[in-house]
Amino acid sequence: MCRFLLYKSNSPILLADLLTRPAHSIIMQSFNCKLRLDLRRPMNGDGFGIGWYDEEPQTPGCIFTSTLPAWSNLNLQRLAEKIKSALVFAHVRATTGETATAESNCHPWQYGNLMWMHNGDIAGFEKIKRRLQNSLSEEIYLSIQGTTDSEHAFALFLNKLKQSASGGKALRDRTEFSFQELRIAMLATIAQINEWLDDAGVTDTSLMNFAVTDGQSVVCTRYITSSEKEGASLFYSSGSEFRSDAESGQYRMIKANKREDVVVVASEPLTFERTDWMVIPTNTLLVITPKLNVHLHPIHDKYWNPMRHQSTV
């Protein structure tokens, strides 16, 4: 079971304050995780990836990945002490044993200004892989570097985004997208995967917690192909400052005023103050606008179940 974190704020945070110093960072969670679903692979030790944008959000972000576990990676620890960013994606990975542990299989992935990561897996992916590949434009098809379901879902998303875009500019050269565009392409991606899974007769449950950004807007989902079960956990928090307490090493979301200056979405709460964290309901899409407004959109498809949401805590 993988795990991800995304951070967006008005002002840059030092990556160390987010990723390596706090005792309950996503890196340390990779040691000891309480909310995991998959007991066969209890550890996230098969690699990790960090993506971030600098002060020029209209240029592509940077990615640092490694097949070494995050907690013993000296380069990560040193870089995190230097790099500041107002938009960070972080992912720790546990292979499911089907795909090789290779840097090309580490999240997040990039395409032009876009960045993508995934927590979960697409059940029976091998049954729709060829059809998915054949649906792609030549350029997007050839951009795939690895073998994971997650990267292929990104390719499909890119293809949907490209199809819905009006007019000329190549996807790779566009420096920004509206969050509406991203949201529509995300929904189209999930709908398309579902359609193909149905056609292929796949009945196992897929977990599709996806996150995408163009450096300015963020769109992410908590999604499961079931109307009964809950999706892989996903939480968010917002406030005026997210920082770790120097003494305790614990994160805290400071709410000094009414303004939303920071939004964090994570597979597990990063602070002990559970009241800081809202559960993102299963089968919901979350948008963070460039101005840091947060919108939640239920995904009304055949797996939508209003009763499930009432019981979510």
What is the rounded CA–CA span in Å between residue 94 and residue 45?
6
Q: With binding defined as CB under 8 A, does residue 250 bind a second copy?
A: no
Task: Scan residues 68-127 and list those touching a second copy (CB under 8 A).
Answer: 68-69, 71-72, 74-75, 78-79, 81-82, 95, 99-104, 126
Q: Nearer to a second copy by C-beta: 134 or 275? A: 134
Q: Give CA–CA dist 210/141, Å, rounded.
A: 20
Cα(294)–Cα(287) distance, rounded to whole angstroms? 6
Q: Which residues contact 311 (CB under 8 A, 6 or more apart)?
A: none
Q: Which is nearer to a second copy, 132 or 171 (CB)?
A: 132
Q: Which stretch binds a second copy (CB under 8 A): 10-18, 39-47, 153-161, 257-265?
A: 39-47
Q: From the list 14, 62, 279, 292, which residue makes contact with a second copy (rule: CB under 8 A)?
A: 62
CA distances from 1 to 28, 157, 212, 307 (A): 15, 22, 19, 27
Residue 33 identity: C
Six-digit token pair at 84?
Answer: 């500041």
Is 120 exposed, middle or buried, given 0-12, 13-18 or 19+ CB atoms closer than 10 A?
Answer: buried
Q: Please tell me the distance from the alpha carbon of residue 220 to that of residue 297, in angstroms, as a whole number.
A: 10
Question: Could you say which of 1, 16, 29, 46 contacts a second copy (CB under 8 A)?
Answer: 46
User: Is residue 32 a contact residue for a second copy (CB under 8 A)?
Assistant: yes
Q: Is 66 in the site for a second copy (CB under 8 A)?
A: yes
Task: Phi first, then psi: give them for residue 40, nearest 5 degrees.
Answer: -65, -35
Handedness of CA 73, 75, 79, 81 (dihedral sign): positive
Nearer to a second copy by C-beta: 51 or 281?
51
Q: Considering beta carbons, is residue 98 or 195 the nearer one to a second copy?
A: 98
CB of 232 to a second copy, least distance (A): 20
Respond yes or no: is residue 106 known to be catalytic.
Answer: no
Please state the closest distance from residue 304 (CB atom) to a second copy, in A: 32
How does strand 278-279 pair with strand 3-14?
A: unpaired
Taking the complex as a whole, the smallest distance from the CB of residue 126 to a second copy amounts, in Å, to: 5
Residue 190 beta carbon to a second copy: minimum distance, rounded to whole angstroms:
23
CB of 128 to a second copy, least distance (A): 11
Residues forming the active site: 2
Q: Where along the sequence are the contacts to a second copy (CB under 8 A)?
A: 31-32, 41-43, 45-46, 54, 62-69, 71-72, 74-75, 78-79, 81-82, 95, 99-104, 126, 129-130, 133-134, 138, 141-142, 144-147
